[in-house]
Structure formats: structure tokens, C-alpha cells
Amino acid sequence: MKKHYLDDERKIKLSTLIYAILIIVVAVIGISSILAYGTQTEIGKKISTIMSKVIPFPAAVVGYTNIVYLSDVEKDLASIEKFYQTQDLSKEGLRVDFTTSDGKKRLQIKEREILDKLVEDKIIEVLAKKRGISISQADIDKAVAQKLSDYGTANDVKNDLFNSYGWSLDDFKKFVVLPNAYKEALSLSVSQQDLDDSQPKAKIEQAQKKLKNGTDFVQMVDEYSEGASKDSKGELGWVKKNQVLPELQSALFDSKSFEKNSIIESSIGFHIVDVEDKKKDNNEDMLRIRQIFVSKNTFADWLNEQKKEMRVMIPLSGFTWDNSSGSVDFRNEQMRTFEKNERAKAVGDASIMF
């Protein structure tokens, strides 16, 4: 009888211990969730950062099942801070200070940019997989090997990643190589199957035909051109070779048989360039040019439309998904205004420029 009683007591103690542990775990997760998604205090954010390394809190959910983890956002943000701390930007007349009140807000801008990039990477991966695109470990290793050969020895690259960003080679694969591989593969697929440049090409050909028949160039800019240069009557001013697109470099600076009113196709569209004047600056060729520009249907345009249609949920208290722009934005109107103003006066502040 006594033995039976002791066995029952042990069972009760064991069950009580299990319940106590479960209560503690639930409490820790609950408190951590509040800190991760609701706190704005410094100590709360520090505790949240520590807990997010253990608990896989979602920072964003794309299409119900595809998760961007808070730990990845925080790891990327830490790498940005480390980069600025390890670079001597004072020689360039640039300043970085994230400790001031405005500096902390600038760091929030960095956090928004990081979250936006990680969400875009996840959307690209989802869209790629829908088309049957997959990136194998062998593909990743091949891309990494190419990067290593481009930038030095494996040890040099590893040391630079760690010293500048606090990253390992696996972090580099995860945050850079894999997303770029999916983006390149998806871009190729979209270019082959979804993008039709017949309309913009026909438009620039109409402008070319009228120019050859003697119509004034500025008049054609007003009638056919697109983009920012249209507002200045097509004027781009004096440019050096390295200041224009590669396709324009080749046609304008490298070719000795440039034909007036010829159409130049670039990665972003079609150009008719008028060379108004030439000169030398420190023995370097400079051209004063203006253009008629008609944009192509680009992968970036296609992707932006896809992002607007994607369901994205962001549980973090400070951010929201803006379907109208297909991007992450601040929930707080003051932060949106602050970022807009900071970008307008970004010259000289590397924490905004980069």
C-alpha cells in the first residue's frame, strides 16, 4: 500500500514538473513575442534579438507558407552596422553615427530596406519555383567558386566577409548567392516567355523615320521620348564614357562609324542619340548629348507588378506591406516623412547614401 502511494506521488510530481516546464516555455514564448512584435524599447529589442536566435519568429509571411525570419533581418542589420564601424569613411568626407536620435531612425530605415529586400528575395524564389526553376547545391557551389576566383583566395574572401560584415561563407551563400541565382534564372525565363519589345521598338522606329525626313529633334523628344530626360528636352549634358550605359559607350565612344539618328538598343530600352558637341577633358573624350528614349518592358517592371499582387503579411509592429507599391513601408507616418526628408538631403551621409 505504501509503495503504491509513493508511485502515485512520483507520478504527480513528474506531471507537475512537466506542466511547470510547459508553462515556463509558453510564458517565455509569449513574452518574447511581445518583445519581438510590440516593443520599442532598447532593452526589449536586445532581448528580442537574443530570443529570435532560438525561437523562429516570422518577420514576414509570403503567400501563407513562405517565411522570412526575424533572425535573418537582425543578422543582416548587424552586418550593416559592422560594415559602417569597420570602414573609415571620414577620408571621403562622409559621416555615420547611429547613436544619435536621428541616427537610430536611420538605422530603422536600414531595417526597412533589409526586410524589403528579404521579402523580395522570397517572392522571387516563390515565382521561380512556380515555373519549375530550382537551384541546387552544386549551382550555389559553382557560383561561390566563381566569386572566389574573381576576388582572391578563399581565405581572403572569408576573412573579408567576417571582418567587414561578421558573415561566414554560409551566410554569403544564403543572403547573396542563392537569391541572385534565383533572380537571374527567373529573369531569363521571364525575358524569354513574357516580355514583348515589339511596341517600344515600333515607337522608336516611328521617331527615327520622322527624324530622317527632317523633323526637329526636340519636337520628336516631346512627341516620343520617355523618362526624366524628356523634361529637359532630351538634354543629358556633357558626359564621359563611364557615365553612360555600356551599349551607349560602345556606340558613341568606341565606334568610328556612328550613324546619325541610328537606334541603339540597351538593357533598359531604345535610344536615338544626338551628339551636339565634343571636347577633351584631361585627355579624356567628352560628348554633349541629348536623346530620344523609349523604355523596354523590363524584368524589374514585371516583378514589381507581381509583387503588388502577392499576399504578404508583416507582423512586426513598425512595418507594413504596401500593395500599391509592392514594398515594405513604415506604419508610422512620421517615419515615412523622416525617410523622405533624409533621402532629399542625403549628400555627405553614408548611412543614407549606401
CATH number of 198-297: 3.10.50
The pLDDT score that the predictor gives to residue 218 is 94
Q: Which three cell numbers stand for residue 25?
A: 516555455
The pLDDT tens digits for 259-279 are 889 999 988 899 999 999 999
pLDDT attached to residue 293: 95
Can you list the residues of the chain whose pLDDT is less than 50? 2, 6, 25-29, 31-32, 34-35, 348-354
First to last CA, the chain: 77
Give 267's contacts (C-beta < 8 A, 6+ positions apart).
245, 247, 296, 298
The pLDDT value recorded for residue 348 is: 45
Residue range(s) in the chain whose domain bears CATH number 3.10.50: 198-297
Please tell me the distance from the alpha carbon of residue 58 to that of residue 144, in angstroms, as a whole number: 28
Q: How far is CA 128 from CA 124, 133, 174, 179, 180, in A?
A: 6, 5, 17, 11, 12
Q: What is the pTM of this model?
A: 0.70
Asked if 70 contacts 54 with a C-beta cutoff of 8 angstroms, the reply is no
Q: What is the DSSP letter of 243?
A: G
**C-alpha–C-alpha distance, residues 274 and 225, integer Å:** 13
CB burial of 130-148 (b: ≥16 within 10 Å; e: otherwise) equals eeebebeeeeeeebbeebb
Contacts of residue 180, defined as CB under 8 A and 6 or more positions apart, other chains included, come to: 143
Residues in the chain: 354
